[in-house]
């Protein structure tokens, strides 16, 4: 695996993305309706949903490259992946050696296993992972964290009736068609805020190349996540704050407050990103602002 040098600067970022006639993140406890804040009517998208899209994009874009494998993916058996770390270090002495229970005796060996997993899997290096499920490779706290996304304005979810010419069962063959429903948001502009810790990056060896891959994923992930249910989703703007020091030069919430997103004058019902105006205020010294998109 390639040698990496961990990033030495703290970062925060704001990602603005929108959805048109789609469901950005259905709630399985509410019939897969778009997630919504019941008090404000604003739409919500979970951090887990966004991390899934990042993982999927990196799995596509970095396929076959060392140290960019994805740990949490469809149909993955995590304990089997954990065992690979033990197989790569056959000299490690185990507390127990059973098919479903493996754990290193010495603390330094536990750290070796966790570091090996960080080096191999991008999403562990970035987001962290709990790898103590029987085959114990430790627990890693990742430097990259996302907030829940929230729409700038209240959304108006709609249920749309759809029809299908085919039927599922032979007993329904006499029917001309079957009916169904899908939920959509006519338009919503969402804001996600993120954090990248340099001290935690040093622990997982999250490096500059990893950071650039993350920016690329945030910008391009929607283009490889198309489905009929999600409609048209697009990344519209990525604003990055880079601190001059590992611990940072300003509170994150102050930097986020400098990014203001509001409807343009005269727009009552926004239906595109062009209906909004994004302004960035001044930030304290020691912080640089970049617009990646």
Per domain, the residue ranges of the chain are: 11-291
- What was the pLDDT predicted at 159? 86
What gap in Å lies between CA 119 and CA 79, rounded to an integer? 17
Kindly give, in sequence order, each residue whose CB lies less than 8 Å from that of residue 99, ignoring residues fewer than 6 positions away.
none
What gap in Å lies between CA 41 and CA 16, rounded to an integer? 18
- What was the pLDDT predicted at 180? 78
pLDDT in tens, the chain (293 residues): 566 799 999 999 999 999 999 999 999 998 899 999 999 999 999 999 999 999 999 999 999 898 999 999 988 899 999 999 999 999 999 987 777 789 999 999 999 999 999 999 999 999 999 999 889 999 999 999 999 999 999 999 988 888 877 777 777 777 767 777 889 999 999 999 999 999 999 999 999 999 999 999 999 999 999 998 899 999 999 999 999 999 999 999 999 999 999 999 999 999 999 999 999 999 999 999 999 98
Q: What is the DSSP-derived secondary structure letter of residue 258?
A: T
User: DSSP states of 45-105 as a string?
Assistant: E-HHHHHHHHHHHHHHHTTT-TT-B-SS-TT--HHHHHHHHHHT-TT--EEEEETTEEEES
- CA-only gyration radius of the chain, Å: 22
- What was the pLDDT predicted at 2? 60
Local structure of 180: helix, strand or coil: strand
DSSP bridge pairs for 180: 162
Residue-wise burial string across 186-198, b where 16 or more C-beta atoms lie within 10 A, e elsewhere: bbbbbbbbbbbbb
What angle is formed at CA 80 by the lines to CA 49 and CA 28, rounded to 5 degrees? 25
Q: Give which of 229, 227, 145 is closest to 192, Cα–Cα.
A: 145
Local structure of 156: helix, strand or coil: coil
Do 22 and 229 form a contact (C-beta atoms < 8 A)? yes
Cα atoms in the 13 Å half-sphere on the side-chain side of 81: 22
Residue-wise burial string across 134-155, b where 16 or more C-beta atoms lie within 10 A, e elsewhere: ebbbbebebbbbbbbbbbbbeb
What angle is formed at CA 246 by the lines to CA 219 and CA 118, rounded to 5 degrees? 65
- With residue 178 as reference, give the H or E element that holds it: strand 178-196
* Number of Cβ atoms within 10 Å of the Cβ of 222: 19
- What was the pLDDT predicted at 12? 98
Q: What is the DSSP-derived secondary structure letter of residue 117?
A: H
What gap in Å lies between CA 146 and CA 13, rounded to an integer? 9
- What was the pLDDT predicted at 95? 85
DSSP bridge pairs for 161: 181
* Length of the chain, in residues: 293
What gap in Å lies between CA 46 and CA 33, rounded to an integer? 14
């Amino acid at each position: 695996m390639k040698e990496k040098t961990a990033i030495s600067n703290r970062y925060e970022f704001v990602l603005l993305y929108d959805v048109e006639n789609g469901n950005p993140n259905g709630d399985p406890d509410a019939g897969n309706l778009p997630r919504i804040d019941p008090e404000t009517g604003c739409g919500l998208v979970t951090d887990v949903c966004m991390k899934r899209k990042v993982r999927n994009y990196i799995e596509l874009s970095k396929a076959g490259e060392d140290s960019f494998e994805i740990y949490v993916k469809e149909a993955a058996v995590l304990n089997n992946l954990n065992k690979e770390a033990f197989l790569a270090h056959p000299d490690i002495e185990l507390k127990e050696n059973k098919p479903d229970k493996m754990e290193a005796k010495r603390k330094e060996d536990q750290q070796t296993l966790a570091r090996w997993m960080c080096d191999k899997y991008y999403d562990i290096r970035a987001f962290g992972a709990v790898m103590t499920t029987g085959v114990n490779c430790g627990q890693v706290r990742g430097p990259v964290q996302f907030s829940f996304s929230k729409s700038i304005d209240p959304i108006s979810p709609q249920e749309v009736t759809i029809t299908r010419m085919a039927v599922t069962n032979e007993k329904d063959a006499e029917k001309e068609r079957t009916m169904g429903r899908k939920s959509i948001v006519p338009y919503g502009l969402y804001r996600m805020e993120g954090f990248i810790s340099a001290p935690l990056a040093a622990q997982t060896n999250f490096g500059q190349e990893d950071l650039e891959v993350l920016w690329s994923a945030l910008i391009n992930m929607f283009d490889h996540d198309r489905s009929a249910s999600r409609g048209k989703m697009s990344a519209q703007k990525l604003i990055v704050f880079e601190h001059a020091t590992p611990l940072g030069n300003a509170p994150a919430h102050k930097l986020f407050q400098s990014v203001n997103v509001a409807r343009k004058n005269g727009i009552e019902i926004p239906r595109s990103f062009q209906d909004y105006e994004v302004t960035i205020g001044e930030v304290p010294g020691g912080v640089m602002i970049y617009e990646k998109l």
